[in-house]
Amino acid sequence: MGELFENRASSRVWSVGALVHAVASLLEQELPACTVGGEISSFSRAASGHCYFTLKDPGGGAALRCAMFRRAASLLDFSPVEGQRVELRGRLAVYEPRGELQFIAEAMQSAGAGALYERFLRLRARLEAEGLFDPALKRRLPAHPRAIGVVTSLAGAALHDVATTLARRSPHVRVVIYPSVVQGSDAPAALCAAITLAGQRNEVDVLVVCRGGGSLEDLWAFNDERVVRAIRAAPMHVVSGVGHETDVTLADLVADLRAPTPTAAAELVAPATAAQNQVLQGLASALARRSVAALETQAQRLDRLALRLARPSEALVRRAHVLDLLARRLAAAPTRALVDGRSRADTAAARLGHALAIARSRIAARVDGTAFRLHALDPHRVLARGYALLVDRDDRPVTSVTRLTVGQAVTARLADGRAELTTTAIEPAPAPR
Diameter of the chain measured on Cα atoms? 192
For the chain, the domain total comes to 4
Q: Are residues 222 and 203 in the same domain?
A: yes
Q: What is the pLDDT of residue 11?
A: 62
Q: Are residues 198 and 109 in the same domain?
A: no
Tell how strand 63-68 and strand 100-113 pair up: parallel
Return the sign of the alpha-carbon dihedral for residues 292, 295, 296, 297.
positive
Q: Are residues 86 and 151 in the same domain?
A: no
Is 221 a member of any domain? yes
Is 333 a member of any domain? no
Is 391 a member of any domain? yes
Q: What is the pLDDT of residue 206?
A: 95
Q: Are residues 256 and 286 in the same domain?
A: no
Looking at 154-303, which runs of residues are DSSP E strands?
A: 174-179, 206-211, 237-242, 257-258
Domain termination residue (choose one: 79, 113, 147) = 113
Is 21 a member of any domain? yes
Q: Are residues 189 and 173 in the same domain?
A: yes
Q: Are residues 108 and 149 in the same domain?
A: no
Q: Which domain holds residue 411?
A: 382-422
CATH code for the domain in which residue 263 is found: 3.40.50.10550
Cα–Cα distance for residue pair 92/30, rounded to 1 Å? 10
- List the chain residues with pLDDT less than 70: 1-11, 59-60, 112-115, 310-311, 433
Q: Are residues 287 and 267 in the same domain?
A: no
Is 433 a member of any domain? no
Tell how strand 84-95 and strand 389-391 pair up: unpaired
Is 292 a member of any domain? yes
Domain termination residue (choose one: 263, 294, 315) = 315
Report residue 132: phi and psi, to 5°: -70, -25
Q: What is the pLDDT of residue 6?
A: 54
Q: Are residues 224 and 183 in the same domain?
A: yes
Per-residue burial over 2-39, b = 16 or more CB atoms within 10 Å of its CB, e = otherwise: eeeeeeeeeeeeeeeeeebeebbeeeeeeeeeeeeebb
Is 77 a member of any domain? yes
Q: Are residues 100 and 186 in the same domain?
A: no
**Alpha carbon 176 to chain centroid, angstroms:** 34
Per-residue pLDDT reduced to its tens digit, 128-174: 999 999 999 999 999 889 999 999 999 888 999 999 999 998 888 99
**Alpha carbon 198 to chain centroid, angstroms:** 33
Domain termination residue (choose one: 245, 271, 297) = 271
337 residue type, one letter? A
Q: Are residues 7 and 54 in the same domain?
A: yes
Element of type H or E holding 3: helix 2-11
Q: Are residues 310 and 249 in the same domain?
A: no
Q: Are residues 391 and 303 in the same domain?
A: no
Per-residue pLDDT reduced to its tens digit, 41-86: 888 999 999 999 999 987 667 889 999 999 999 988 788 888 888 8
CATH code for the domain in which residue 54 is found: 2.40.50.140
Sheet holding 257-258, edge to edge: 174-179, 147-152, 206-211, 237-242, 257-258
Q: What is the pLDDT of residue 25?
A: 81
Helix (H, G, I), strand (E, B) or coil at 368: helix
Q: What is the pLDDT of residue 326?
A: 87
Q: What is the pLDDT of residue 328?
A: 85
Cα–Cα distance for residue pair 400/10, rounded to 1 Å? 176
- Of the candidates 32, 298, 269, 275, the residue with the CA atom closest to the CA atom of residue 146: 269
Is 364 a member of any domain? no
